[in-house]
Amino acid sequence: SSHASQSYASRIPHFTNPAARHLLECIERKKSNLAVSVDVTTKAELLAVVEAVAEDVCMVKTHIDIVEDFDLDLVERLSALSKEKDFVIFEDRKFADIGNTVSLQYSSGVHRIASWSHITNAHLVPGPGIIDGLASVGVLLGRGLLLLAEMSSKGNLAGGEYGAACVRAAREDTTGFTCGFIAMDRIHERNPSSANGDRDFLILTPGVGLDVTGDGKGQQYRTPDEVVRVKGCDVIIVGRGIYGSLLTEQGKKDPQHALRSVKEQAERYKQAGWEAYQKRIGA
Ligand code: 6AU
């Protein structure tokens, strides 16, 4: 039967991966299945948004390569906040190269992602060698990997057999490093298999919004209720629906006011996500 009918707490023992367990523990402690995607371009804005939402989220998702004044102090402060405020860090790097290259991109360069990001993600376009390359860096550090089995954007090419291949590759990764998917529903349960077929995976889902259905650049939004209760996804990833007030003319003039709105939206999405989960498990 579906793991979606079980509580987050009861699923912790299904995972050997430390980052997956950490995430489920945070979700349960904070009663939040909300990940905030903080896609802003300065260090100060990033830290301000994280501080505003920290209490309400289980996870902070970054695109660290868009931060104009990036330095290692930023990730030190982010790591300190992750401990103090109890959230998991997910660098949304979307690795997509051969194993050897991604192992270097993950461990090295300006960003040294593996040293601070608990979870990262990858496309399976290069084949399963990408998992081995990332695992060669991440496993010893206790990190976790999500495969992009599906995408939220209009016209994306990850349909058909592609998702099923991602599920197969995740099942074949017996190290447990691959601990979930970016997907629009419980894709692994639609693709059962006799070997390892019952293994639990986390489903993290972007394209979540309560007020609009798209962004004019291909993004498509569904509500937390649709994503968590109807489709059985585990974590909602919300970006502009939460920090959007910072992007408006008014928000630029009065950032303190905008940050209060950021906090209010985080509370609103947290509540919507948790209600959808409680309905799903029949609590
Ligand atoms: O809520 P938004 O639309 O402002 O932001 C959604 C965030 C962005 C995207 O890069 C990311 O989610 N994303 C992903 C991820 C998380 O991998 C996959 C996808 O299919 N769609 C998507 O929007 O930071």
Q: What does pLDDT average to in each consecutive run of 10 residues of the chain (283 residues)? A: 93 98 98 98 98 98 98 98 98 98 98 98 98 98 98 96 97 95 97 85 98 98 98 98 97 96 98 98 92
Q: Report yes or no: 172 and 128 within 8 Å, Cβ to Cβ.
A: yes
User: What pLDDT, on a 0 to 100 scale, did the predictor assign at position 248?
Assistant: 95
Q: Report yes or no: 138 and 114 within 8 Å, Cβ to Cβ.
A: yes
Say yes or no: CB of residue 206 within 6 Å of ligand 1: yes
Q: Report yes or no: 30 and 269 within 8 Å, Cβ to Cβ.
A: no
The residue annotated as part of the active site, out of 31, 94, 132, 215, is: 94
- Exposure string for 182-200, b = 16+ CB within 10 A, e = fewer: bbbbbbbbebeeeeeeebb
For the entire predicted model, the pTM comes to 0.98
CA-proximal residue: ligand 1, atom 9 (nearest): 206
25-31 contact pairs (CB < 8 A, 24+)? 26/58, 26/59, 26/86, 26/87, 26/88, 27/58, 27/234, 27/235, 29/86, 30/55, 30/56, 30/57, 30/58, 30/86, 30/87, 31/274
97 is catalytic: yes
Say yes or no: CB of residue 182 within 6 Å of ligand 1: yes
Say yes or no: CB of residue 242 within 6 Å of ligand 1: no
94 is catalytic: yes
Q: How many whole angstroms separate alpha carbon 161 and alpha carbon 179?
A: 20
Say yes or no: CB of residue 91 within 6 Å of ligand 1: no
CA of 195 to the centre of ligand 1 (A): 31
Size of the chain, expressed as the number of residues it contains: 283
